[in-house]
Amino acid sequence: MELDELVAARGAALLRFAYLLCGDAHLAEDLVQTVLARAYTKRSRVEAADRLEPYVKRMIVNEHLTWRRRRSSGEVAVAEPADAVRPDASESVVDRDEVWRLLATLPPRQRAVLVLRYYEDLPDAAIADALGCADSAVRAYASRAMATLRIDEEARRG
Amino acid sequence: MAELLRETFEEYGRRAPAADGLADAVAARVRRERARRRRWTVAGAALAAASVVAAVSLVSRVEEPRPTPPATGSLVVEPPAPEGTRWLVWRGLRVALPVAWFETEFDACGEPQSSGVVVNDRPGDQCASAPAKDIDLLWVFGTHRINEPSGRTGYEWMRRGATRTDLTIDGVAAQRIVGRSNYTKTYAEGILVPGREASLVVTTPEPGLAKVILDTVRIDGEVDARGCEVRRTSLHATAPPARPGATERMVPDGVVQASVCRYGGEWAIVSKLLDGTGARGLADAMNALAPSDLGAEGGKDSAIVVTFRYPSGPDVEVYVHVDGPRDVGVTNGAVTAGLDGLESVLKPVAGWRWTYEQERL
């Protein structure tokens, strides 16, 4: 697959992925555009990758984590999406909104691990490869993230 | 919880921004990026005046072969630096920098106020000031500093939160390190060369600039591009010079070139190459020094070693000890002299007593 095809066919998927990583629509657009522009400037190398989409997603993850590092320490991720839906009477919808809010409180690497594991369904080894860390680190990130979500969820439920 | 997470991602994934116009937006960015790169690579007086452009212009020209160490009796030919730049040479590492960077301005507290070079952590004393915002800096320092307790000039970011990638430059193992400086609060990228115990780090608001500067880094062999041995364990003359006349005069006539090499802790921390007039002027100044019976011992791990070269025949090495616990002086192994009269000539080239490495740029 070439980059042009990827953008045309999978652009929406890339934006979804970026949005789940960063939780902000504008940031997600900026992230994907930045990464794709960089991919085009290194086109031959990027298109030589065995599987283009995972390669670009890996670029998105790393760019996102780099951006997070560059931000000032006082900056906090957007907790609520700009287009947040109206609360639904359904308990499950409320739960999902609550989980989404809690995801915004996680450190970026922990959140990235959850997105890669539960949205992309990647095995830990692939996540470790994408993040440039050990499998054990992935398990640790995931464990800490899940613990945070559970604790906060339990606190919310009282 | 896992199932709830999957549902949440599915639900919120549907609320992601639409991909309409994505291709056009990316194409526009690519055009902007290419235009920016073109601006950077255009050589010209107007652009060379800007430090950023000067640093990156004609980067491809640094792809010259690694210099061969000069044989005794042959002259050193320093590889040309890209236009508008000059080589900074330290511990056998070379990096091309805008000429203006060699005149870095510091405030009263030693904090850098203009783009430039900071050698071995000079800034950062006890004042409550900070580096100027939005300037670009190359930090040159020994790798031991990375693990020192954090201070205001700390390299803490290199210990945590930075990514490291192994690479090889001119056959020498190195690491590229990327992160965010805890000191300048900007993007930081550097090259660590463990074999030289040396680090070169660029802090800048513009990540592209760091990459371009670091891409100019070359690692010379045992002798650097200016003819200085990169590391010397002995900084004292061990035998009389082989060149005829050198047992009577410090520097025999006929000098055409001189490598001025200052050592600190065995490493070459200043390397300068003098041709023609400069070399002869230094030779004349050394020949005019008053003889001394005190010897020239100085310290064991610091000295200025000047290698005088001739069109043919053996070189003459002169050891200048300007500081240290023992007698200071100048010697070529046969002739020994005091220092009086040498400072005004040698200080601008290699510094003098108690000068910071920063002042020897």
pLDDT of B128 > 70? The answer is: no
Instruction: State residue A73's pLDDT score.
Output: 31
Instruction: State residue B192's pLDDT score.
Output: 96
**Interface test mutation site (partner B, options A19, A21, A73, A97, max chain B beta carbons within 10 A):** A19
In chain B, what residues touch A15 (CB-CB under 8 Å)? 16-19, 22
Instruction: State residue B145's pLDDT score.
Output: 81
DSSP B211: H
Q: Is residue B357 part of a domain?
A: yes
Q: Are residues A69 and A96 in the same domain?
A: no
Dist. CA B108–CA B8, nearest whole Å: 56
Instruction: State residue B53's pLDDT score.
Output: 40
Q: How confident is the model at residue B33 (pLDDT cuts 50, 70, 90)?
A: low
Instruction: State residue A36's pLDDT score.
Output: 92
Instruction: State residue B284's pLDDT score.
Output: 96
CATH (domain of B158) = 3.40.1000
Q: Are residues A10 and A70 in the same domain?
A: yes
**Interface test mutation site (partner A, options B3, B20, B22, B176, max chain A beta carbons within 10 A):** B22
Q: Which domain holds residue A12?
A: 1-75
Instruction: State residue B121's pLDDT score.
Output: 59
Within an 8 Å CB–CB cutoff, is residue B167 touching chain A? no
Q: Are residues B139 and B199 in the same domain?
A: yes
Please indicate whether residue B65 or residue A94 has the higher confidence score (pLDDT). A94
Residues pairing with B199 in the sheet? B141, B192
- Residues whose CB is less than 8 angstroms from the CB of residue B27 and which lie 6 or more positions away in sequence, other chains included: none
Residue-wise pLDDT tens digits, B327-355? 788 999 999 999 889 988 998 888 877 65
Q: Is residue A122 part of a domain?
A: yes
Q: Are residues B68 and B214 in the same domain?
A: yes
The Cα of B19 is separated from the nearest Cα of chain A by a number of Å equal to 5
DSSP B295: -
Instruction: State residue A92's pLDDT score.
Output: 63
Within an 8 Å CB–CB cutoff, is residue B126 touching chain A? no
pLDDT of B65 > 60? The answer is: no
Residue-wise pLDDT tens digits, B222-241? 999 999 999 998 888 888 89
* Domain end among A49, A75, A101: A75
The Cα of A82 is separated from the nearest Cα of chain B by a number of Å equal to 10
Residue of A nearest to B19 (CA): A12
In chain A, what residues touch B14 (CB-CB under 8 Å)? 16
pTM of the predicted protein model? 0.57
CATH (domain of A71) = 1.10.1740
In chain A, what residues touch B179 (CB-CB under 8 Å)? 69
Q: Is residue A130 part of a domain?
A: yes
User: What total of structural domains would you count in chain A?
Assistant: 2
Q: Are residues A102 and A153 in the same domain?
A: yes
Instruction: State residue B157's pLDDT score.
Output: 84
Helix, strand, coil distribution of chain B in percent, nearest 5: 25, 25, 45
Q: Is residue A115 part of a domain?
A: yes
CATH (domain of A102) = 1.10.10.10
Instruction: State residue B350's pLDDT score.
Output: 87
Q: What is the mean pLDDT of residues B304-319?
A: 94
In chain B, what residues touch A37 (CB-CB under 8 Å)? 26, 29-30, 33
pLDDT of B316 > 80? The answer is: yes
ipTM: 0.80
User: Residue B26: which of A36, A85, A146 has the nearest Cβ?
Assistant: A36
Q: Are residues B122 and B207 in the same domain?
A: yes
Q: Are residues B71 and B212 in the same domain?
A: yes
pLDDT of B48 > 60? The answer is: no
Check residue B2 and give left, alpha or beta (phi > 0: left; psi -120 to 50: alpha): alpha
Instruction: State residue B35's pLDDT score.
Output: 60
Q: Which domain holds residue B302?
A: 226-361
User: What total of structural domains would you count in chain B?
Assistant: 2
* Domain end among B219, B239, B258: B219
Q: What is the mean pLDDT of residues B58-78?
A: 56
Contact by Cβ (8 Å): B48, B84: yes
Could you write out the three-class secondary structure of chain A?
CCHHHHHHHHHHHHHHHHHHHHCCHHHHHHHHHHHHHHHHHCHHHHHCCCCHHHHHHHHHHHHHHHHHHHCCCCCCCCCCCCCCCCCCCCHHHHHHHHHHHHHCCCCHHHHHHHHHHHHCCCCHHHHHHHHCCCHHHHHHHHHHHHHHHHHHHHHHHC
- 10-residue mean pLDDT profile of chain A (158 residues): values are 87 93 88 88 79 89 71 35 42 77 89 93 89 88 88 63
* Domain end among B219, B249, B281: B219
Dist. CA B41–CA B53, nearest whole Å: 7
CB pair distance less than 8 Å for A114 and B5: yes
- Residues whose CB is less than 8 angstroms from the CB of residue A143 and which lie 6 or more positions away in sequence, other chains included: none
Q: How confident is the model at residue B361 (pLDDT cuts 50, 70, 90)?
A: low
Q: How confident is the model at residue B166 (pLDDT cuts 50, 70, 90)?
A: very high
Residue-wise pLDDT tens digits, B262-305? 988 889 989 999 998 999 999 999 999 998 877 777 667 788 99
pLDDT of B58 > 70? The answer is: no
**Which tokens belong to B138?**
């190359």
In chain B, what residues touch A41 (CB-CB under 8 Å)? 30, 33-34
CB pair distance less than 8 Å for B16 and A20: yes
Q: Are residues B233 and B191 in the same domain?
A: no
CB pair distance less than 8 Å for B5 and A99: yes
Average pLDDT, chain B: 81
Within an 8 Å CB–CB cutoff, is residue B163 touching chain A? yes
Residue-wise pLDDT tens digits, B176-217? 999 988 788 889 999 999 999 999 999 988 888 898 899 999
Instruction: State residue B25's pLDDT score.
Output: 87
Q: What is the mean pLDDT of residues B312-319?
A: 93
Contact by Cβ (8 Å): B317, B234: no
Within an 8 Å CB–CB cutoff, is residue B347 touching chain A? no
Q: What is the mean pLDDT of residues B38-42?
A: 44
**Interface test mutation site (partner A, options B4, B9, B11, B29, max chain A beta carbons within 10 A):** B9
The Cα of A14 is separated from the nearest Cα of chain B by a number of Å equal to 9
Q: Are residues B67 and B215 in the same domain?
A: yes
* Domain end among B178, B204, B219: B219
User: Residue B17: which of A25, A40, A149 has the nearest Cβ?
Assistant: A25
